Amino acid sequence: MQPDDAVFVPYGTTHWTALTTGAIVAVLLVLAGRRMRGTGAEIVTGRVFALVIIGFQVSMQVRRLLPENWDLYTSLPLQLSDLSWVAAAYALWTHRWWACALTYYWGLTLTPQAVLTPALDAPDFPRIEFLDFWALHLFVTWAAVYLTWGVGIRPTWRGMRATIAATVGWATVAFTVNSATGTNYGFLNHKPTNPSLLDLLGPWPWYLLVEFALVVAGWCLITWPWTRSRQREDTHAG
């Protein structure tokens, strides 16, 4: 058994276990989504999934705000992942295009960066801090995979533009709060202390510009195949 004071170690046993579990569940969700596509079961499944996300994440946020757990640097819901789970739950419930877009782009690019190079200075499994971190990030990725490859909701350039606007809006708010309080939500004011992909992008503030350019380029790459596929389908149908 893990001792109660064991600290999470990147790419240790629990990290690999969480990554493997995330991949397996993603595959199962795709298979289930395709089987249920266009049926009443699809609607029920999506809404149950949404309620699970909401129930878990709201309880975790309340826990972080309790006096015994309060920490100005970690307790405020100002990480992009705090916004992404709301978008994911709404997308699962409604299938609104903009919510599905936010879930797709955030869930398949920014969230995987967090789980591949986690800044998790917290106890290891089975402590609640460990479960909080992994559930927060995996839920969004699972929702993105399920909605895209399971349910069949395809990304569009319009959705990408909406996601860029939402991301810039979040970054503006988070940076303002960080500057006023000395926090570092989103790593917008300085890099994390643990090794991360940001170490390859230069010093502050240049790494923010490089990261933004890389993210937009990546989003273009994961949008273009879907739009090309749609154009071919429209051509054949015509």
Nearest one of 140, 109, 112 to 217, comparing CA atoms: 109
CA 78 to chain centroid, in Å, comes to 13
Query: What local confidence, expressed as pLDDT, does residue 119 receive?
Result: 62
Q: What pLDDT sits at residue 198? A: 81
209: Cβ contacts below 8 Å, ≥ 6 apart: none
Q: What is the mean pLDDT of each run of 10 residues along the chain (238 residues)?
A: 63 88 96 95 97 96 94 93 95 98 94 73 77 89 97 96 97 97 94 78 92 94 89 60
Are 178 and 195 spatial neighbours (Cβ–Cβ below 8 Å)?
A: no
- pLDDT value, residue 77: 94
pLDDT attached to residue 97: 97
Distance CA 140, CA 99 (A): 12
3-class secondary structure, 194: coil
- How far apart CA 165 and CA 226 sit, in angstroms, is 21
Give the whole-angstrom CA distance, residue 119 versus residue 103: 21
pLDDT at 238: 52
List the Cα angle 154/152/54 in 5-degree steps. 95
Given this model, what pLDDT does residue 2 score? Answer: 46
pLDDT of residue 50: 98
| 209's tokens | 């510009």
The predicted structure's pLDDT at residue 1: 40
* pLDDT tens profile 27-53: 999 999 999 999 999 999 999 999 999
Is the pTM above the cut of 0.95?
no
Give the residues across from 123 on adjacent strands: 7
How far CA 121 is from CA of 117, 129, 191, in Å, comes to 12, 9, 15
Specify whether the CB–CB gap between 114 and 81 falls below 8 A: yes
Q: How far apart are CA 148 and CA 37, in angstroms?
A: 11
7: number of CA atoms within 13 Å, CB side?
5
Residue 193: per-residue pLDDT: 76
Q: What is the pLDDT of residue 237?
A: 56
Give residue 114's pLDDT: 75
Euclidean distance between CA atoms 225 and 238, whole angstroms: 20
Residue 122 has a pLDDT of 65
CB atoms within 10 A of CB 238: 5
Cβ-based neighbour number of residue 114 at 10 Å: 20
